[in-house]
Amino acid sequence: MTDTADLKKTPLYDAHVAAGARMVPFAGYLMPVQYAEGVLKEHLWTREHAGLFDVSHMGQARLRGVSPLSAFEEITPSDFIGLAPGKQRYSLLLNKKGGIIDDLMASRPDDDGLFVIVNGACKDGDFKFIDNELAPQVKIERLEDRALLALQGPEAAAVMAKHAPDSLTLVFSEARAMTAFGLPAFVSRSGYTGEDGYEISIPGESAQAVWDMLLADPRVKPIGLGARDSLRLEAGLPLYGHDIDETTSPIEADLSFAVSKKRRDAQDFPGASRIAKELAEGPSRVRVGLKILEGPPAREGAEIADGTGAVIGKVTSGGFAPSLGHPIAMGFVPPAHASVGTKLNVIVRGRAGAAEVVAMPFVPKRYVRKL
């Protein structure tokens, strides 16, 4: 058990406790897993209104240097040179075997370099890796004094309108420095719930004031990590350390969109030979979505079996889908069992429950791609 005394707190720790949060250790921080209403209601609130998440545990950094865009391509499969100012891209840090060190969001501010956001549990390792690989070409400036809030849901844009009018000029996957809440903010129209919404980077010392301003709006409620996880699961989005890790390639993980066409042609990224081979011949396993047709939720680690009872894979994340009213899961199976409609079984507590391969996302994404 982690000694809570060793855990860090985000600038919003006191705000969470005051709001009735249950705090748990997560990624080295004490974070709110849920508030008084509970995961189910928080999840549905986000799908119907606007949910406010403290994601300040995530790693924020600016990458600057002589040629940070081309340098960052050395450790990722993305086209960053072709990334226009004001645009954001989902990308992956890759090891030499084409395995995923972490997934990340990188955006190109109007000025120089990149603004990257990486997973909280991975951030120290990620920044060390980037430094080892790319220094002195690239200089990492960790933005540890900044908080990160996510406002997600169909009413997020209307809520943001009064605090950050410039945010309404963004569409999905755009990010810009702007004045928001009267502060120097960096705002992207993105998130990890499948909903329209924003991620807002602000000075840590102002986080409480921004948090209070947003919660003063009756359309906004604070949402914990529990619902964040069920929302991203319904959106079919992989979670690092669970659905993807250093052994998983982007192709196996159904993230081939993160391997840019230009880079596929050039084959100049870590693990390019494995990834090119998997693109050409197909990988030996692939991430699929499963609808659990009967029985209990199949959670991480549950075995997946075919109709004959042979174990063919494992669930990497799963649980109850509040928006759908039944359990869902993600897991890896051989391509022969990966077609939508394939009937499989998940083994939970020794018993086989019927499941079916379904298309992801489980719940349609509602990103705003055009104004």
Q: Which residues of 165-177 are buried (b: 16+ CB within 10 A; e: fewer)?
A: eebeebebbbbbb
Return the number of the residue (31 or 159) whose C-beta is nearest other proteins.
31
DSSP 8-state secondary structure symbol assigned to residue 203: E
Going by C-alpha positions, the residue among 54, 49, 95, 66 that lies closest to residue 269 is: 95
22/139 with CB nearer other proteins: 22
Nearest approach in angstroms of CB 15 to other proteins is 21
Of 40 and 168, CB closest to other proteins: 40
Shortest Å, Cβ 243 to other proteins:
16
Of 197 and 224, the one with the shorter C-beta distance to other proteins is 224
What is the DSSP secondary-structure string of 321-367? ETTTTEEEEEEEE-GGG-STT-EEEEEETTEEEEEEEE-S-SS----
Q: What one-character-per-residue DSSP string does 294-318 give?
A: SSSPP-TT-EEE-TTS-EEEEEEEE
| CA dihedral sign, ordered 17, 21, 22, 23 | negative
Q: How far apart (Å, rounded) are the C-alpha atoms in residues 368 and 364?
A: 12
In the complex, minimum distance from the CB of residue 199 to other proteins, in angstroms, rounded to a whole number: 23
DSSP string, 131-198: HHHHTTTEEEEE-TTEEEEEEESTTHHHHHHHH-GGGGG--TTBEEEEEETTEEEEEES--SSSSSEE
Location of structure tokens 């008084």: 36
Nearer to other proteins, 68 or 226 (CB): 226
CB of 112 to other proteins, least distance (A): 42
**Contact residues: other proteins, CB under 8 A:** 33-34, 38-41, 43, 226-227, 229-230, 296-297, 299, 319-320, 322, 327, 349
Question: Considering the complex, what minimum distance in angstroms separates the CB of residue 326 from other proteins?
Answer: 9
**Pick 270 or 322: Cβ nearer other proteins:** 322
Helix axes 156-163, 207-215, angle to 10 degrees: 120
Nearer to other proteins, 98 or 327 (CB): 327
| Minimum distance of other proteins from residue 239's CB (angstroms) | 13
Token digits of residue 49:
């209104």
Q: How many residues are there in the chain? A: 371
User: Least distance in Å: CB of 351 to other proteins?
Assistant: 9
C-beta closer to other proteins: residue 101 or 227: 227
Identify which of 246, 256, 259, 241 has the alpha carbon closest to the alpha carbon of residue 286.
256
How many CB atoms lie under 10 A from the CB of residue 218? 10
In the complex, minimum distance from the CB of residue 344 to other proteins, in angstroms, rounded to a whole number: 19
What is residue 106's three-state secondary structure? strand
